[in-house]
Amino acid sequence: MTAGAAGAALALALVLMHPAFALAGERLVQAALRGLLIAWLVAYVLLFGLILYNLLAAGGAIARIGVWLAGLPGGAPARALVLALPIGAFVEAVSGFGVSIVVVAPLIAAIGFAPRQAALLALFTPNAVPWGALAVGVVMSEEIAGLPANAIGIGCAYLGAPLFVYFALLLLRLAGGWDALRANLGLAIGVGLAMAIGVWGATVLFGVELGMVVAGPLVAAPAMAYLWLTGRPISAAQPALDAPPLTRAFAPYGLLVALLLGSRLVGPMRDWLQRTAVLEVPGVGIAQPLLYSPGFWLLLTCLATVSLLRLPWAAVRSAAVKTRGQWLRAAAALAAFALLAELMLQSGMTDRLAGAVSAGLGPSYVLAAPAVAALSGFMTGSNAAGSAMLLPFQLRVAEQLGLPSLVLASSQNAAAAAASMASPQRVVLAAAVMGLTRESDFVRRALSIELGAVALITAAQLVWLLTFSP
């Protein structure tokens, strides 16, 4: 948040004081409003996603589900693979912003891993960040790039396809060494390929917001069945007596998926939602249908969760207070980066930078684009904030070099998402959940993992350009 605020303040000073980038009066107000509205697209969804998680935690649903998952049979590395990849991706899809680390890290520790190793493995849980928090980063990119969110999501699925197999193999290696990798090679490849195909298919069929919400459980279910059929039963600890039954613990997630599917697949309902209660500011060029946004359906799910889990008012109030602090920090950071990007774009700074890069690197910039995107994800800890900061720049370079904007927009989201897994914010969160105080080792190891991820995205981007672009 500090970096974003400092950058936005510097950009504002330049547009007010530097004649080459002068931006004043109505144009300055419109640029600021557009940046804040772009941030609101994400913050609206994030607010109710965090409230839902905190309500589920307060009602014991997270504890109940956690005990059930920790009781999966099979070897510890195989169970860690299923917990961290498809289940972690689902949790991140419905909550976002690293909540999957908070949920899954204790489960990995519960199946026998030391706290330090559990924290490292938990960093794999936000493995599908482009679809995190109901794909708010991709939806925000639609407003910035003027490209369909589903097209960007499908592009991310293509660029990220090798990553799922890469993460699965690497996680097993870190969890149990080469022996664990050899013993579970088929499971790792199967889970990785299934996630790549599943998130692509779900994005095509149901839209980018539901990509991993649907794909995560579809991949987790057969993987868990495989563990039950091939592994030895595990005696799991029992949850607290006030934890709800398992069916009631899962009910809010089921309701959310059903509501989102209905709002996207039922034609008359979808059309009505898209033209009702639309937030629009004249001259800014952004229109947000408040009832069509996933944030609205998360709100309804939150209200239903209070009843489903029979939460007392004190628990609801405590969840709201906890959410307020989490949300304000994230929303402020998003607003700062979005404001920074919009001021630079409207004042001509982005064009000036893009021109210099285009002249200096030429078409070879495509090799650097994923690394630039990854830097934004690492710095901000968020695909959404990273894209808010650098996507306008990537698009200007693409325009000046004659590169397909869809490829650069997809690359920005995919690479920023991958690198956000190694960001200091996520590393500190994983260490804190496990009660650890030294994070430097985690940062180095996480960065080495993400270097491989960026290399794979770069290769996939080149194949895309050479194969599908005119």
For each of the chain's 470 residues, which pLDDT tens digit applies?
566 788 888 888 888 888 878 777 788 888 888 888 888 888 888 889 889 989 999 999 988 888 888 888 888 999 999 999 999 999 999 877 788 888 899 889 888 899 899 999 999 998 888 898 889 889 889 988 989 999 999 999 999 999 999 999 999 999 999 999 999 999 999 999 999 999 999 999 999 999 999 999 999 999 999 998 887 665 555 555 467 888 999 999 999 999 988 998 888 999 999 999 988 877 777 778 889 988 899 999 999 999 999 999 999 999 999 899 888 888 888 888 888 888 888 888 888 888 898 889 998 999 999 999 998 888 888 888 888 888 999 999 999 999 999 999 999 999 999 998 888 878 888 888 887 776 666 778 888 899 999 999 999 999 999 886 55
CB 137 within 8 A of CB 113: no
Q: What is the pTM of this model?
A: 0.86
Give the contacts of 61 (CB within 8 A, at least 6 positions apart). Answer: 243, 244, 248, 249, 250, 252, 309
Closest CA to 152 of 124, 131, 126: 131
Give Cα 68 distance to the centre of its chain: 25
Q: Which two tokens stand for residue 44?
A: 């609206």
Inter-CA distances, 147 with 113, 127, 137, 406, Å? 44, 24, 13, 7
Domain boundaries, the chain: 2-468
| DSSP state, residue 289 | E
Which amino acid, 342?
A: E
